[in-house]
């Protein structure tokens, strides 16, 4: 083990004031990143809302077969995949619950963006995201209860992010609603906004990758099983979700969602 006793880089040689300043700077970077990310997500959802046809959106709500398949993937397949991976790799309870919570989490902006890039059914994608956010308040605790019964956990310490889900729902619905209105009233301008949103989407992915690498340096030293799971989990979700949509005889455009 390297000896850092003679260097200021060693945390033990930092004064209390220097250590506090470093923590404050790290906290400020996280705050700036969070605000910037929120603004970009709102702009992106507004631009994606400009692609939504209100008639197609209403048809998905009236005949919600596509939404039902999506919700089955979200709260049926994904938690099951997370549970199987946690058991297969013998993860400790804390890591297993974290993985399971990721599997129970509702859909988000990234799925809408990937659907748009894949030329999928964006109207269905947006309606699925809205429904999954609403259903998360009940499905997340239900999935956690069902899958964590065999684990030695203090259940009173499992805190579900209801406030974050509510904020995400508002940040999703309001910009999308404005985008739908713009597309209905000014379709030509909506196409211009959509092009801007595509650029914002690319920048958003770059910013997330770079900022995550800077703010989460500790994850670089993660155990090998976690790195394997971080690759397998989303890939398995996409593959099994596609197969389920295929078995449900959904149109090709919807299968790409």
CA–CA separation, 92 vs 100, rounded Å? 12
pLDDT digits (tens, 9 = 90+) for 94-151: 888 888 888 888 887 778 888 888 888 888 888 888 888 888 888 888 888 888 877 7
Alpha helices (H) in the chain, listed in sequence order? 16-49, 54-62, 65-72, 78-88, 93-104, 109-117, 122-147, 162-185, 187-215, 224-247, 252-255
Q: Which residue has the higher pLDDT, 22 or 256?
A: 256
DSSP state string for 126-142 = HHHHHHHHHHHHHHHHH
Taking each helix axis as running N to C, give the angle between helix 54-62 and helix 162-185, from 0 to 180 degrees, rounded to the nearest 10: 130
Q: Domain locations in the chain?
A: 40-256
CA–CA separation, 48 vs 63, rounded Å? 22
pLDDT of residue 8 exceeding 70: no
Domain boundaries 40-256, corresponding CATH code:
1.20.1530.20
Residue 193 in 3-state DSSP? helix
| Average pLDDT of every residue of the chain | 79
Whether 113 and 143 have beta carbons less than 8 Å apart is answered as no
User: Per mean pLDDT, which of 1-15, 45-59, 192-206 is the most reliable?
Assistant: 45-59
């Amino acid at each position: 083990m390297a000896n850092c006793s003679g260097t200021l880089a060693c945390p033990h040689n930092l004064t209390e004031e220097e250590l506090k300043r470093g923590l404050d700077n790290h906290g400020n970077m996280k705050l700036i990143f969070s605000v910037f990310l929120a603004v970009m997500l709102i702009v992106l959802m507004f631009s994606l809302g400009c692609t939504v046809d209100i008639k197609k959106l209403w048809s998905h709500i009236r005949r919600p077969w596509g939404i039902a398949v999506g919700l089955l993937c979200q709260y049926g397949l994904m938690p099951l995949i997370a549970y199987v991976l946690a058991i297969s790799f013998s993860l400790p309870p804390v890591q297993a619950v974290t993985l399971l919570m990721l599997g129970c989490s509702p859909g988000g902006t990234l799925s809408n963006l990937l659907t748009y890039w894949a030329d999928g059914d964006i109207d269905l994608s947006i309606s699925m995201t809205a429904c999954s956010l609403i259903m998360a308040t009940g499905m997340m605790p239900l999935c956690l209860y069902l899958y964590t019964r065999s684990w030695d956990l203090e259940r009173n310490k499992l805190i579900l992010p209801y406030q974050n889900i509510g904020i995400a729902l508002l940040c999703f619905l309001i910009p999308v609603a404005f985008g739908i209105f713009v597309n209905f009233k000014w379709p030509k301008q909506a196409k211009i906004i959509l092009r801007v949103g595509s650029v914002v989407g690319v920048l958003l992915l770059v910013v997330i990758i770079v900022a995550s690498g800077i703010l989460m340096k500790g994850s670089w030293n993660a155990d090998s099983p976690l790195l394997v799971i971080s690759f397998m989990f989303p890939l398995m979700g996409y593959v099994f979700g596609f197969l389920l949509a295929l078995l449900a005889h959904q149109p090709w455009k919807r299968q790409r969602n």
